[in-house]
Amino acid sequence: MNDKNTPCCYGLSEWLSPDLFKALSDPNRVTMLARIAEEKREQTVTEIAGCCPVDMSVVSRHLRILRDAGILSAQKRGKEVYYSVRVDDFVRLLRNLADALEACCPSNPSGQ
Residue 26 domain-assigned (yes or no): yes
Residue 33 domain-assigned (yes or no): yes
Neighbours of 92 (CB within 10 A): 13
Q: What is the residue range of 24's domain?
A: 12-104
Q: Which of 33, 110, 24, 100 has its CA nearest to residue 73? A: 33
Q: Which pLDDT tens digit goes with each residue over 36-52?
A: 999 989 999 999 998 88
Residue 109 domain-assigned (yes or no): no
Give CA–CA dist 83/67, Å, rounded. Answer: 9
Q: Which of 112, 24, 20 has its CA nearest to residue 69? A: 20
Segment 16-43 shows an average pLDDT of 91
CATH number of the domain enclosing 37: 1.10.10.10
Residue 83 domain-assigned (yes or no): yes
Whether the per-residue pLDDT at 2 is higher than 80: the answer is: no
Strand partners of residue 85? 72
pTM: 0.79
* pLDDT band with cut points at 50, 70 and 90 for residue 67: very high
Give CA–CA dist 14/48, Å, rounded. Answer: 31
Decide which of 106 and 81 is more confident: 81
Strand partners of residue 77? 80
Give CA–CA dist 106/112, Å, rounded. Answer: 12
Q: Which of 46, 44, 52, 45 has its CA nearest to residue 28? A: 52
